[in-house]
Amino acid sequence: MRINKFRLMTYPYIGWIIVMIVVPMLLIGLYAFTVPGNDVASVKFSLDNFARFATDAVFLKVVGKSLWIAFLTTVVCILLGYPIAYIISKAKGNKSMILILLLTLPTWINMLVRTYAWMGILQEGGVFSSICAFFGFEGVSLLYTDFAVTLGMVYNFLPFMILQIHTSLAKMDNSLLEAASDLGANRVQSFLRVTLPLSLPGVVSGITLVFLPAVSSFFIPKLLGGGQYVLVGNVIESQFLTAGDWHFGSAISLIMAIIIIISMWLTRKIDVQPKKEN
């Protein structure tokens, strides 16, 4: 009877998943493999949407640029996030909790509001421009550039990388470092042979949480990159909201979903968990 009660408790979640995830994905697949007609009866199954995407150099260039920006954002988040996570994990007492609180505090504010704040900082006459003017560089503006888009993505997604790496470092057994020191390893050798390998699961989880939203983000490049900066998320948005071509927009969404699934599979293949001995 207890098992049946637990099953009954899962039914609302199953229903929510079906309505909010399964049904929209089925509709996207239906639109992707069909072409519009004059009425419902004239809708035909076709691969024209995928052929249009594969043969258009503009769309392929947009996908390549989106993957590059997401890759660059992920690399920068690793380079910045790992030292910060390491410092937080070594903090003693309540300092670690305070640092984590300060790290997550900006995430309590809506991401759109935080991105708008960066527009005011980077635009001409903003905070950054005023600092440059103080040193004799007049009229400096980084808004609507690749740097601005990458900076906005790093700022928004960096906490996810730090928290994942910190979780792995906090779970590490410090006696392993003591054993490495007893065997003659210095701090660099202990880090490379003990700390870094044990923290790789957190790095891989951080890569997943940063790369996936970065590759499909649309409002960050729209706000910080301006109209001339287009990534695949902006193309999908324009196809649904502006052009009204839901079929082609669904095909692009399905292609990106496949790319994301492949990326997740590759990152999980790298994530080698230590096997427990019986």
Sorted by where each starts, the structural domains of the chain and their CATH numbers stand as 63-270 (1.10.3720.10)
C-alpha to C-alpha distance for 150 and 187, rounded to whole angstroms: 33
Least Cα distance to 152 among 30, 86, 70, 251 occurs for: 70
Which residues neighbour 34 within 8 Å (Cβ) at sequence distance 6 or greater?
Answer: 43, 44, 45, 46, 247
pLDDT surpasses 80 at 139 = no
* Mean pLDDT, rounded, for 212-223: 87
Structural tokens at position 10? 């899962």
pLDDT surpasses 60 at 166 = yes
Give the residue with greater pLDDT, 200 vs 136.
200
Q: pLDDT band at residue 159, thresholds of 50, 70 and 90?
A: very high
Tell me the per-residue pLDDT of 9-28, one tens digit each, with 9 for 90 and over: 788 888 999 998 899 889 99
* Mean pLDDT, rounded, for 252-277: 72
C-alpha to C-alpha distance for 206 and 173, rounded to whole angstroms: 21
pLDDT surpasses 70 at 196 = yes
Give the residue with greater pLDDT, 127 vs 81.
81
Q: What is the pLDDT of residue 39?
A: 62
Q: What is the pLDDT of residue 85?
A: 93
Tell me the DSSP string of 93-146. Answer: TTHHHHHHHHHHGGGGS-HHHHHHHHHHHHSTTSHHHHHHHHTT-TT---TTSH
How many angstroms separate the Cα of 57 from the Cα of each of 114, 161, 198, 251, 263?
34, 33, 43, 16, 23
Least Cα distance to 208 among 166, 268, 256 occurs for: 268
Tell me the per-residue pLDDT of 60-105, one tens digit each, with 9 for 90 and over: 888 888 889 999 999 999 999 999 999 998 888 788 889 988 888 8
For 112-116, 141-145, 166-170, which range has the lowest pLDDT when averaged over its residues? Answer: 141-145
* Mean pLDDT, rounded, for 249-270: 82
DSSP-based helix, strand, coil % in the chain, nearest 5: 80, 0, 20
Least Cα distance to 123 among 138, 139, 149, 143 occurs for: 143
Q: What is the pLDDT of residue 275?
A: 46
Q: What is the pLDDT of residue 90?
A: 86
Instruction: Please state whether the predicted TM-score (pTM) of the whole model is above 0.95.
Output: no
